[in-house]
A and B are shown apart, each in its own frame.
Chain A
Amino acid sequence: MRTPLSLVLTFALPLILLVATGLGKNSAVLGGPQFRISLALTVGLVSIGTVGYSLAIARDRDTGVFQRLRVTPAPTWTIMGSRWIVHLGAVLVMAIVVLAVAGLFVRVTLPPQDYLFTVLVALLGSAVFLSIGQAIVGLIASADTLNAAGRLLYVPLIGLSLFGDTDRLGTTVELVSRWSPGGCLEALLSAAMGATAWSDQSWGALFASVGYTVVFAVIGIRWFRWVSH
């Protein structure tokens, strides 16, 4: 989130997706309103958490911003922590905007506690995708390579989240999709918005999400370098 324009553009994609998938007579084929909202939230989370975060960190590393901060008496965890807070804040705003647009244009309103639950799940999801971003920036040194890798990752991270509830592409794809980071998030958002009941599948998705966060964060911290050369 380097400029107000980049923030607006990042918000634009999930909002366009949310509204566009509701257009036309056969829009229901794409899924129910809650599915479209959770898809929009997932796209926003991947954009902000994985692609946006890793690219921002890589650029700051390339230009020496981190080294400048590291010679100050500020503890190093605060340098990275401040970046996490900024991106978590962006996710929070994105989630609220998506839910507000969903209420206005998709005619989906939720009980107050479900709004809260959905926002909390979005924050958990952002921890998952931020840790994936941290792992990427830990494993890839160059900002240019990372930019390309981020775009490549965009497809499986979002694509896999689409097929967790359908076996149209086979049961293996369904299984992989269901337990992918995006699939777990879809399951949790679905339960949070009341589209499905909270179940063992939801608990499994919750534990898997926490596991993903820990594993990717450990990889990202273990291999992270403050300089790119």
Chain B
Amino acid sequence: MQSDAPALTSALRVTGLRVTYGPIVAVDGIDLEVREGEIYGLLGPNGAGKTSALSAIEGLLRPAAGDMVIGDIDARAHRMQAKAQLGVQLQATSFHSNLRLLELVRLFAGLYGVTLSAAQIRELLEEINLQPEASKRFRELSGGQQQRFSLLIATIHDPALVLLDEPTAGLDPQARRQLWDRIERFRKEGRSILLTTHSMEEAQAVCDRVAIMDHGKILTVGTPAGLIAAHRDDPRVRQAAHGGVTLEDVFIALTGQELRD
């Protein structure tokens, strides 16, 4: 399911992606396309299949079927080359507990084949206000600082496509705003971003297009404003709305009101 926007160059093209865990189908043949310079949000309740889809694109699990093209690289045929094109921030991430930030930057830069001088590393940490913490260990940072550092590591090799799995989960409003600014800066630098989120506010604030996903399938795709306009007259949306229709009302109407674990 795709919107009717004019064809632009794709940063990521996924077709027929299917992910299974034994008899359970987590992702059921989805298609999605992230265009160059676009911020694309994948929305869905818990268990919708967002993280499984993202994990398949990241190369963390082998899909049962489907094709994934990152830039012009077939990600299933050339996994390592595809990984080199991606910047990834996982939902729950940790780094080697006994390494300091300076050492972690050097380690991950090395894994991506990037050589950084001590001055360049200091500069990078300065950009995210973590230069004073350069000698600290990752576990000694606050939640917001950890998130900023993770994002720095995700983009250390200047990737064209960045995948963010619930990047603002657990952050306070200040840290969340700061992260949105950083995501916005990525867009200005020409990167494409695919993010998953539970926050409709976040999706409306930063995403160019969003896809709403449930039970492993993509239910609808469009700009946040476009989705609101398209579903405004749906009786389920009107029932969910309290006043003006929001993206959250559309989301609730499409995915149902029952609680998900």
Contact = CB atoms under 8 A, between A and B. Distances in A.
Interface stretch (B10-18, B91-99, B186-194, B238-246): B91-99
Given A72-B108, A73-B83, A74-B111, A67 B98 contact: no
A2 B97 contact: yes
A75 B80 contact: yes
Interface in A3-27: 3
24 contacts: A2-B97, A63-B94, A64-B92, A65-B94, A65-B96, A67-B60, A67-B90, A67-B93, A68-B95, A68-B153, A70-B60, A71-B60, A71-B86, A71-B88, A71-B90, A72-B83, A72-B108, A72-B111, A73-B80, A73-B81, A73-B83, A73-B111, A73-B112, A75-B80
Given A69-B111, A71-B58, A71-B90, A63 B97 contact: yes
B59 A71 contact: yes
B84 interface: yes
A-side binding surface: helix, strand, loop or mixed?
loop
Nearest to A62: B94
Given A3-B98, A73-B112, A74-B111, A68 B93 contact: yes
Contacts of B96: 60, 65
A76 B41 CA distance: 29
Given A64-B90, A71-B86, 20 more contacts: A3-B98, A60-B96, A63-B94, A63-B97, A64-B92, A64-B93, A65-B94, A67-B60, A67-B90, A67-B93, A68-B94, A70-B60, A71-B60, A71-B83, A71-B90, A72-B83, A73-B80, A73-B83, A73-B111, A74-B111
Contacts of B92: 64
A42 B111 CA distance: 35
Contacts of A64: 90, 92-94
Contacts of A74: 111
Contacts of A65: 94-96
Interface residues of A, number: 16
A226 B61 CA distance: 10
Interface of A: 2-3, 60, 63-65, 67-75, 226
A155 to B, nearest CB: 29
A71 B153 CA distance: 11
A70 B94 CA distance: 12
- Interface SS of B by simple majority: loop
B116 to A, nearest CB: 15
A69 B108 CA distance: 8
Contacts of A60: 96
Which among A68, A70, A226 has the highest number of chain B CB atoms within 10 Å?
A68
A68 B107 CA distance: 12
Interface string B147-158: 000000100000
A65 B94 CA distance: 5
Contacts of A70: 59-60
A67 B94 CA distance: 9
A70 B83 CA distance: 9
A71 B164 CA distance: 12
A196 to B, nearest CB: 41
A63 B137 CA distance: 15
Contacts of B84: 73
A225 to B, nearest CB: 11
A64 to B, nearest CB: 5
Contacts of A71: 58-60, 83, 86, 88, 90
Contacts of A73: 80-81, 83-84, 111-113
A73 B97 CA distance: 21
A17 B231 CA distance: 75
A52 to B, nearest CB: 14
A148 B243 CA distance: 57
Nearest to A226: B60
A70 B62 CA distance: 13
Nearest to B81: A73
A204 B83 CA distance: 46
